[in-house]
Structure 1
Amino acid sequence: MNLLVDEGVDRPIVVRLRQDGYNVLYVTEMSPGITDNVVFQRANEQQSLLLTADKDFGELIYRQGLVHTGIVLLRLAGLPMETKVTLISMAFDAHASEFVGAFSVIAPSIVRIRHQQ
C-alpha cells in the first residue's frame, strides 16, 4: 500500500509505517512547504492514501467535493509519541484496506471510516 504522509506528521510515525511494510513518501523529505492542494493532487496522482494531521483536507473533499484515493486524519495531539506511533500502526494493521477511498479519522479511542458517496 502506498502512503503519502503530509509534513505535519511526525517522523517517528513515518519510520514505523515503513517498518510495517508500507511504501511511504514523506512530504518533508520530498517537497517541504508545498500547498495542501499540491499534496492532495500528488496523493491522487500516485494512487496513495494521504496521512495528515491537517483538518483542511476534510474541507477539500466535503466542501469542494474533490475525489480522493483515501485520506486518514490523525487526531492525536497531546499524546506521547510512542502512543501515537502504536495507535497508528494498530489502526493500519486492522483497517488499511478499509481506508482506501474513504475519509478516516484515527483518534485515541476510535477509528472512524467514512466512504465517499
Structure 2
Amino acid sequence: MYTKLDPLTLYIQEKNPACILLTETWLSPVVPDSLIGLNDYILYRTDRTSRGGGVYALLNRTIFKQFSVTSCSKNYGNIELIRVTCVSSCQSFSMVYIYRPPGTSVVEDQLLART
C-alpha cells in the first residue's frame, strides 16, 4: 500500500469522494493513522497481525455528519469486516466491507452468512 499512497492521495484530492474502501491493505498495527489518513476524512481500519489482508475505510467528514462504525473481524475467524452506517443531510445508509482471504473455512463462511 505504501507505494500506492501518492496516487491514491492525488485521486482523493481531485475527486473528493464521499468514501474510500480498500482491501488487501497489508497494514499492521505498527503503521500509525497519521501516515495513511487524510485531513477531511475519518479513518477506520482493521489490520492483520500476519502478512496480507486488511480493510481500510475513509469517510468524508464534510459530507457525513454522523457515523456508526463496527469492526467485527474478531467474530469471523480470518475474515476481516468493517460495518459502517453513515448519515448525511439527505440520506442514511449502511455498508459492510469484507476481506475474505483464500482458504477461508466453511465454518467462517457460515458465520459470515448469518449476519
Give the alignment's TM-score, normalised by structure 2: 0.30
Higher-Rg member (1/2): 2
Comparing both structures, which one devotes a greater share of its residues to strand? 2
Higher relative contact order (CA 8 A, sep 6+): 1
> TM-score normalised to the size of structure 1?
0.30
